[in-house]
Amino acid sequence: MISVNLTITAGFVVMPDIPCKRVWIRAMLDNVRPVWMAVNATAAVNHAWPLDVGGYFPTDLKVDNVNDLDFYFEDSSDMVCVIYEN
């Protein structure tokens, strides 16, 4: 398993092209706002899965590629940790 921390400016981010079998996702404990996550869709406030501060997606996601994930960050200081198995 490999872990990647994302730090970006506020707005949208699509993950890089990395083939995988499944992923686990967690929002960092010191985030300010929820991070919004979607699979094979564009993430937006109220139109994606909310990851609250320190929250995590409740199960592993079976995806073929890390770039199937899309995130929307409301605050530029927020981060998520994505762990993937390839």
Per-residue pLDDT tens over the stretch 8-19: 556 777 688 899
Return the CATH fold of 2-85: Jelly Rolls (2.60.120)
CA separation (Å) from 49 to 1, 25, 70, 73, 76?
23, 11, 10, 12, 19
- For tokens 């869709």, what's the residue? 41
| The pLDDT of residue 25 is above 60 | yes
Q: Residue 28: count other Cβ atoms within 10 Å of its Cβ.
A: 18
| Confidence band for 6, pLDDT divided at 50, 70 and 90 | low
Give domain limits for the chain.
2-85
| The pLDDT of residue 4 is above 60 | no
